[in-house]
Structure 1
Amino acid sequence: MNIEALKKLITQETAVAVYFSSPHCGVCEALRPKVEALFIEKFPAVRFIHIKIDKLLGISGEFGVFAAPTLLVFFEGKEFLRKVRLMGIQELQDKIERPYKMIF
C-alpha cells in the first residue's frame, strides 16, 4: 500500500483504524495484537490497517506521525482519534464505542 492508496481508502471506507509501528519497537509489537483484537471483536466494521513506517517512506510526515506506536481512527474520512505511545485497550474501547454505535 502507498500513501495515495491509504488516503483513498480512508475517504472511501466508513471507518478505518491505522496502526503505525516502527522497527525494533517492543511496545509496538506487544500492543499491536491487542489493538487489532479489539477492532476484530468489538468494532468489526472498522477496517484495521497496520503500517510499518520504515517500509513506507514519507508516510510519517504525511499523517503527522512522529512517534511509534501511533493509532489513528477515522470515521467518514475525518480523523476522530489519535493515540500515541501509551494507550489502554479499555480507554480505546470507551472512546470509539459511542461514535461506532451511532454510525453502525
Structure 2
Amino acid sequence: MQTVTTHHEFEEKTNNNQGVIFYFSHDECSVCKVLLPKINEMVEEHFPYMQLCYCNIKLSPELAAQNRIFAVPSILVYFEEKPYFQFSRNLSISELKNAITRPYQMIFG
C-alpha cells in the first residue's frame, strides 16, 4: 500500500494504473484502523492487479476536498482513470468486494 499526499500523486496513480482504490482516513479514526487491514487483505487476495493507496485527510486536507471526502473512512475506486464507486462511513467488506468484482473481471479478465 502506498501513501498519496498530493493531487499530483493522486493523478499519477489514476493515470498509470488500470485499477486503484483510495482509502481516505486519519490517525484518530478507530474504525479506520480496524477496517484498513481487512481491505488490504481483500485487495491482496481478490484484486491483486489493483493498487491500494492511503490518503490521510488531516495531512492532506486539499486532496480530501478535491475528491469531496467529508467523512472517514471513505473509499474511492477508480478503473481506467474513471471513478466507479465511492463508499463512506458505514461500509462492509462484502459490499465493497461485490461492487469491485464485476468491473475488475471485465478489465483484468
TM-score by length of 2: 0.90
Q: What value does the CA root-mean-square deviation take over the aligned residues?
A: 1.0
Secondary structure of 2:96's partner? helix
Secondary structure of 1:58's partner? helix
Equivalent of residue 99 in structure 2, options 92, 95, 98: 95
Structure 2 residue runs of 5 or longer lacking an equivalent are none
The residue number in structure 2 matching 1:6 is 10
The residue number in structure 2 matching 1:33 is 37
- Tell me how many residue pairs correspond in the alignment: 104
The residue number in structure 1 matching 2:68 is 64
TM-score by length of 1: 0.94
The runs of at least 4 aligned residues of structure 1 exceeding 4 Å deviation read none
Secondary structure of 2:58's partner? coil
The residue number in structure 2 matching 1:77 is 81
Correspondence 1:45 to 2:54: no
